[in-house]
Structure 1
């Protein structure tokens, strides 16, 4: 027993039908779709066979639509609009229609600097979006790959071939102390005075040393580390209530400010320039390439850029 084959869905026919019904001219429809009148004439013949209706008929020097064509005009236009929306790049999404939760992994200091501004942008532009911040507890490369996190923000130290990384802001380290700390009084801060002070070190791995110790060792100096904490915010809170010195990121000389540079001053800490050459701190974002073209993720990345970069910085 033979069966009637199902018609093949051809999006090009829908586009051609919309152009023909809108222009009511083979020549003008061909120009609209950047094809030849001969090719458009063959497409019209095919549409007539598929729809079993002449669609456009000659009336003197013009062509007029049949009743069937008039009935199809609005529907054809709607189909073409839907196809356009379906095949449009994902980055063109309207943030106002976004719904769902974005998960961001960041160190506590980065999260404290990022969350207020990012939440403000979400309320203004994407009110249907919720934000979830996670501490640096997951292996970022694998978590991005598995979709457990949408974006990593901070000092990106893993190198995964497929991970996309973008640097956002470069900062320097400063010594943060409470108002009235001995280092704020008297002579200028020197490597000797800095080394003699009591220090708190921030390390998720419990390490007692870092770049400052390397710079001091080159001058035969060694600082006194009283405590190691896993959190910058905890370390800064301790510095605000005791005589320990905490290293925090701040703007480069002459550079634009960033919310990251404001957290310590918000806690009332005084920032002192370190009289030693220390490597800068670069804060960036990392994401998996499967989300590169996603409209919602594109908004998220742009919102993080606008939050962490000061106005006027490149890329804002």
Structure 2
């Protein structure tokens, strides 16, 4: 198909070339040969009367003209995908669709079992791929390379729809045989202890959301262990006198997996508001609507279980069902 003498298929090639900065990687992404991709670039250069991509070392860098095209081209392709390519109905039991969700291992740990159980009950044949929270996950959402972004609301993009998926308070985790498991966790005991903390694995963020809140509360912690995974934090506490500050839902989910004790946090910290976000052009996508509802149902299922058997969770951290 052509528009003003431009083969619109070339826009797909241009989008891949700008994203990859390499003819070889763009060809792999497009499932084309390198020669066919090089030919597409030559035709694009001829149409726009610009080099578009120039070789700088081992990478091809976009020209100013190409940078100006990057956003509009991605926008056009997203509009086409959301209005023309999307099916008018979605049946989870009769689909081979793959959904890509950017989420932390905390989200996967606390919601994953409930999400998968609910999907199984519907005979779901879709594939759900969880992807790590890279330094700029909003970029993948913008480019349509992720279907959902699950992230604290403070970090959500202002350019796309977002709703609160859950609010989660923080608690302390200690080993059951540690002196810290006896009595309440005072601020003095908390500050004097050594801590296990999660540090994001990407290079763009130096501390977690939890660490930011602790710092705002005026606490200077002494670190014993730094790990890149939320899920490994509780394990690092076992057999030590260390303390970990974790989300209440995660503490509840793991309280029977490790010899741990849950204690109320002795400092004032607001709960984390975990948001779920999707591309503004995808709000009417039936498959995405289904997946959003699945996540909402997973949260409600987990919270009902917590309210029925709160265990050691301090009452102020119990979820509230709407």
Matched, 1:183 2:206: no
CA 1:172 to 1:197, structure 2 compared with 1: closer, same or farther past 3 Å?
Answer: same
Matched, 1:143 2:153: no
**1:100–1:129 CA contact under 8 A, matched in 2:** yes
Q: CA RMSD in A?
A: 2.6
Off by >4 Å, runs of 4+ in structure 1: 89-92
Please name the residue that 2:297 is paired with: 306
CA 1:163 to 1:229, structure 2 compared with 1: closer, same or farther past 3 Å?
Answer: same
Structure 1 unaligned residues grouped into runs of 5+: 1-86, 251-257
Question: In structure 1, what is the Cα distance between the partners aligned to 2:207 and 2:276?
Answer: 25
Please name the residue that 2:127 is paired with: 130
Q: CA deviation at 1:206?
A: 4.2
Q: CA deviation at 1:95?
A: 2.9
Matched, 1:198 2:200: no
Q: CA deviation at 1:286?
A: 0.8
Question: In structure 1, what is the Cα distance between the partners aligned to 2:136 and 2:216?
Answer: 27
Matched, 1:267 2:267: no
Equivalence map 1:26-37=2 (5 Å): none
Please name the residue that 1:282 is paired with: 273
CA 1:160 to 1:169, structure 2 compared with 1: closer, same or farther past 3 Å?
Answer: closer
Q: Which has the larger radius of gyration?
A: 1
Partner SS for 2:155: coil
**1:108–1:232 CA contact under 8 A, matched in 2:** yes
Measured against aligned partners, the alpha-carbon deviations of 1:129-150 in whole angstroms (never above 9, x if no partner) come to: 1111111125222111212111
Measured against aligned partners, the alpha-carbon deviations of 1:179-238 in whole angstroms (never above 9, x if no partner) come to: 1221111x4321001111110121214449532244244xxxx43222322211122211
Question: In structure 2, what is the Cα distance between the partners aligned to 1:286 and 1:274?
Answer: 29
Equivalence map 1:218-237=2 (5 Å): 222-237=220-235
**2:173–2:246 CA contact under 8 A, matched in 1:** yes
TM-score when normalising by structure 2: 0.60
Equivalent position to 2:170, from 169, 173, 186: 173
Question: In structure 2, what is the Cα distance between the partners aligned to 1:246 and 1:287?
Answer: 32
Please name the residue that 2:40 is paired with: none
**2:225–2:236 CA contact under 8 A, matched in 1:** no
Measured against aligned partners, the alpha-carbon deviations of 1:79-118 in whole angstroms (never above 9, x if no partner) come to: xxxxxxxx9x977533322321111111111111222221
Question: In structure 2, what is the Cα distance between the partners aligned to 1:184 and 1:227?
Answer: 19
Question: In structure 1, what is the Cα distance between the partners aligned to 2:235 and 2:287?
Answer: 36
Structure 2 unaligned residues grouped into runs of 5+: 1-83, 305-319
Partner SS for 1:111: helix
Q: CA deviation at 1:303?
A: 0.3
Please name the residue that 2:242 is paired with: 244
Question: In structure 1, what is the Cα distance between the partners aligned to 2:155 and 2:283?
Answer: 19
Question: In structure 2, what is the Cα distance between the partners aligned to 1:181 and 1:216?
Answer: 25
Please name the residue that 1:20 is paired with: none
Equivalent position to 2:152, from 152, 155, 161: 155
Please name the residue that 1:25 is paired with: none
Please name the residue that 2:212 is paired with: 210
Matched, 1:110 2:80: no
Partner SS for 1:99: coil
